[in-house]
Structure 1
Amino acid sequence: MSTIDAHQHFWWMDRRPHSWPPAARATLDTDYTPDDLAGAMAAAGVDGTVLMQSLNNGDETDEYLDLADATPWIVGVVGWLPLRDPEATGRTLARLAHRPKLVGMRHLINFEPDPHWLLAPEVQEAVGLVAAAGLVFDAVPNDAERFAAVLSTAERYPNMPVVLDHLARPPVGGGDEAAWRAMIDRAAALPNVAIKLSVGLDVVLAWRWRTDDVRPFAEHVLARFGPARVMAASNWPVSLLGGSYGEIWSGIADIVARFDPAAVPAVMGGTCRRIFRLPALS
C-alpha cells in the first residue's frame, strides 16, 4: 500500500508573493518546487502527496492542477474557491469538474478578521455547493471561535468530509492543553471530521521538531479519532522551520507504529486515499 503525504505546498515567489512572519522569512521566502521535494520524499519512502493551497487565490488553484497533471506523484490538489460568492463558487466548480485531481478546497479563515466568517449565510450556501460536488472541506482554524465555526459547518453538512489541519494547533511547548483536548473530543464526536497528523506554522516558529514533544498530542488524536480518520502529513516546506522532511516524516511514522502497528497502513496513506478519494498512483 502506498504512503501518502496528506499536506504539502509549492510556491514561486515571483508569481504570487507570500507574506511570512519575520522569523520565517529566511527559510520560506524563496521558491519551493517539485524538484526540491522529490528527493526527500523518495528517501523517506513517500509515494505521493496532496498539494495544498497556500493563498486564497483561484489562479494558484489552476496552476496547481496543471502542475499535478504533469507530476504523477501529486495525486490530489486541495484548491481555493470564492466562498463569499456562491454564484462564483458554482461557476468555478463547473469549470473544474473535469479536473479529477481536484479533491478538496480550503479557505484560510485565519486571514479573515471576523472569526465567524465561515458561518455567514452566503459562505454557508457556497459550502453547500462544495458538499454537493463531493469535495473535502479542509480547514486550519487558528483559535477556538474559528474551530467552533468549522465544527458547526461539519454538523450542518454531515455528508461532507471535513479535515482539520495540523493536529488542530496543539499546545506543543506549553499552553491550554485542557481546552485543546476538549475541542479535539468535540471534533472526534462528528463522524465526518478527520484530522492530519502534522504541525503548523505557529508551532514550528517557536519550536524545533522533537518527536516525543508531539507524541502525547498525536496519541490523544489517534485514540479519539481512530486510525480511519487520522492521516500523516508533513506541511512541507513550512515544516522546515522545525526540522527536515526526513526527520519529521520518520517521527510521525514512529509515533503511529508505537501507538498501534496495525494503524500504520491507514494513517500513513490509506485514510488520506479514502477520504480524499484519490486516484491511483500511476
Structure 2
Amino acid sequence: MKKIDSHHHLWKYSTIEHSWINDSMSVLKQDFLPNDLWSEMAQSGYEGCVAVQASQTEKETQFLLSEAAINPFILGVVGWVNLCHSNVRERLNYFSQFSGFKGVRHVLQDEADDQFMLREEFLNGISFLKEFNLTYDILIFPKHLPFAIELVDKFPDQPFVIDHIAKPDIKNDDTTEWAENIKKIASFQNVYCKLSGMVTEADWNDWSVEQLHKYIKIVVDAFGIDRVMIGSDWPVCKLAGEYSTVMQVVESYFNEEDKKKVLGENATKFYGLVSKKVQIK
C-alpha cells in the first residue's frame, strides 16, 4: 500500500504573504520546505503527497510546481489562480503545462462575502477547470456549506473536495448544522472530503482521539469509504500536534482494508497522481 498525504503546505515565511499567521501561531513563523516535510513523512511511512496553496499568488503556485519538479515525493500541486479574472483560461492553460498541476484552491473562508463562490465571475472560472482536467479544493467554514452545496450542484462533472471536513467547531463540540450539511453535500458523487485539519479546530492543548473520531465517523457515514482521504495539513497541524500524531488519529479509525483507500488510493484517483521513484530512507 502506497501511503499519500493529500494535503500539506510549503513556504518561505513572509510577514506579508503569511499575514494570517498571528502571534498565537509563532511556531509557524519560519520556513517549511520539502526536506523538512520528507523527514516527517518518511518516519510515518508516507511515500507521496499533494502540496496545497497557502497564499493567493501565482508566485507561490510557481514555487510549489518548481519544488514538485525536483522532489519526486511531491506528486501533485493544488495552486492558486485568479478564477475571477478575465484571463483565467489563459492562466489555467499556462499552469497546465506542468505535469504536477492537479487543481486549484481559493481561500474562500477569508472572503468578506460568504457567497463569494456563487459570484458570476467565480463560477465562470470554475467552468474552465474541467477543460484542463483540474480539481477544485473547497476551503470553507460550516456557515459556507449551504453555498458550497449550490456551487457543486451547478457543476456535476467537476471533481470537488472539501478541505478539513469544512472546519466544524470541534472545540465546542458543535455539530448541529455542520453534520446535516455535510450529509447534503456528500450526496453529490463528484464531491470528496479530506480528513485533515481537525486538531486545529479542536482545543490545541486539550483534544483526544475519541473526540476526533466522532467527526471522522460523521464524515465517513456521509461520504462512504471511497470518497475520503487523509491529509496532514502540515505544518499548520504543528499548532496542536506533530505529523505522526495527527496522521495516527485518522489511521487508527480504519481497518486494514479501508486504509488502502483512505491512505492512498482515493487521493490517487481524485487528483490523478502518477507515482515517481521514491525510496523511503
Q: TM-score, normalised by structure 2?
A: 0.93
- Distance in structure 1 (CA, Å) of the matches to 2:142 and 2:191: 17
Q: 1:24: Cα distance to partner?
A: 3.5
CA, structure 1 residues 235+244, in 2 after alignment: closer, same or farther (shift >3 Å)? same
Please, which moves more after superposition, 172-181 or 45-54?
172-181
Partner SS state of residue 252, structure 2: helix
- After TM superposition, the structure 1 = structure 2 runs for residues 24-39 of structure 1, keeping only pairs within 5 Å, are 24-39=24-39
Report how far residue 183 of structure 1 moved: 1.0
Q: Which amino acid is the alignment partner of residue 89 of structure 1?
A: V
The answer to whether 1:54 aligns with 2:54 is yes
Please say if residues 198 and 212 of structure 2, whose CA atoms lie closer than 8 Å, have aligned partners that are also in contact: no
Residue in 2 that maps onto 1:273: 268
Change over 3 Å in CA distance of 1:191–1:197 after alignment to 2: same
Deviation of 1:136 after TM superposition, in Å, equals 0.7
Query: Which residue of 2 is the match for residue 120 of structure 1?
Result: 119
Counterpart Cα distance in 2 of 1:88 and 1:7:
28
Equivalent position to 1:158, from 156, 180, 187? 156
Tell me by how many angstroms 1:226 deviates: 1.0
Change in Cα spacing, 1:18 to 1:9, as seen in structure 2 (3 Å) is: same
Contact 2:200–2:240, Cα closer than 8 Å, also in 1: no
Deviation at 1:70, TM superposition (A): 0.5
Question: Does the alignment pair 1:12 with 2:12?
Answer: yes
Mapped to 1, the partners of 2:83 and 2:200 lie a distance apart of 25
Q: Which amino acid aligns with 2:192?
A: A
Residue in structure 1 matched with residue 190 of structure 2 by the alignment: 192
Q: Deviations over 1:194-213 (max 9, x none)?
A: 00011258515645452211
Shift of 1:72: 0.1
Cα 1:244–1:209, aligned 2, differ >3 Å: closer, same or farther?
Answer: farther
In structure 2, C-alpha distance between the alignment counterparts of 1:166 and 1:195, rounded to whole Å = 8
**Distance in structure 1 (CA, Å) of the matches to 2:219 and 2:29:** 32
1:23 and 1:205 in contact (8 A); partners too:
no
State the match for 1:172 in structure 2.
170
Partner of 1:125, secondary structure, is helix
Contact 2:199 2:241 in 1 (8 A): no
State how 1:134-149 maps to structure 2 within 5 Å: 134-144=133-143, 146-149=144-147
Q: What is the TM-score when the length of structure 1 is the normalising length? A: 0.93
Maintained 8 Å contact 2:21/2:28: no
Check 1:225–1:27 CA distance in 2 against 1; reply closer, same or farther (3 A cut).
same
* Aligned AA (2:266): T
Opposite residue 33 of structure 1, the aligned amino acid is L
Identity rate, percent? 27
Task: Report deviation, 1:16.
Answer: 5.9
Change (3 A) 1:241 1:54: same
Name the CA distance, whole Å, in 1 between partners of 2:54 and 2:11.
8
SS in 2 for 1:248: helix
Q: Retained in 2: the 8 A contact 1:93–1:133?
A: yes
**SS of the residue 2:46 aligns to:** coil
- Partner amino acid, structure 2, of 1:114: D
| Residue type of the alignment partner of 2:189 | P
Q: Which runs of 5+ in 1 are unaligned?
A: none
Q: CA deviation at 1:143?
A: 3.7
One-letter code of the match for 2:103? G
1:86-129 residue CA offsets vs partner (Å, 9 max, x unmatched): x3211111112221111110000122111111111111011100
Q: Which amino acid aligns with 1:243?
A: G
Q: Cα RMSD between the aligned structures?
A: 1.7
